[in-house]
Structure 1
Amino acid sequence: MLELNETMLKKFVEAFSQREDGVLRYQGRLCFPNVGDLREQVLSEAHSSRYSIHPGATKMYRDLRDVYWWIGMEKDITGFVAKCPNFQQVNVEH
């Protein structure tokens, strides 16, 4: 069992890399720090982008996960979309 845990930890650590630009990445995706309201700004921008057609949580997560990574990302996106007045209005009508 200990060997299995060590193997999993090693694979997890190997999934992280730091490129020449100094940016930490997880499986090639930008590791996004929890600094101030930076994540909230990214979520807001992604949710209100004119190219995204006001996405729900699933689409927004799929779009962002290709570029960004942070612990609890899916939960943060779901919570952000749930607070959106347009999302709440759609759920009341159905």
Structure 2
Amino acid sequence: MYHDLKRYYHWVGMKRDVVDWVSKCNTCSLVKAEHQVAGGLLLSLPIPEWKWDRITMDFVVGLPIWRTYDTICVIMDRLTKSANFLTIKKIDGAAVFG
């Protein structure tokens, strides 16, 4: 946190003040690296054998409204990297997977 703050602020005794404040912060103590579960090994995704056998999806949200649409659904084939883009109305999880 000190390194982030020192880019914008400086005062005498700043490092000591930041260390003192962080040591008293409940949130800071809960998210310390020693309390985090170590991640496992990275696993590669299986290589698809056929077009459109494995896809990835993502949503581009918060766009300006155009003809009642404000979201783009991106569906991408992992083998060929070809993508389809669908304009859709504002979404929530229930609308997509319901």
Q: What TM-score do you get using the length of structure 2 for normalisation?
A: 0.29
Higher alpha-carbon Rg? 2
Task: Determine which structure has the larger helix proportion and give its number.
Answer: 1
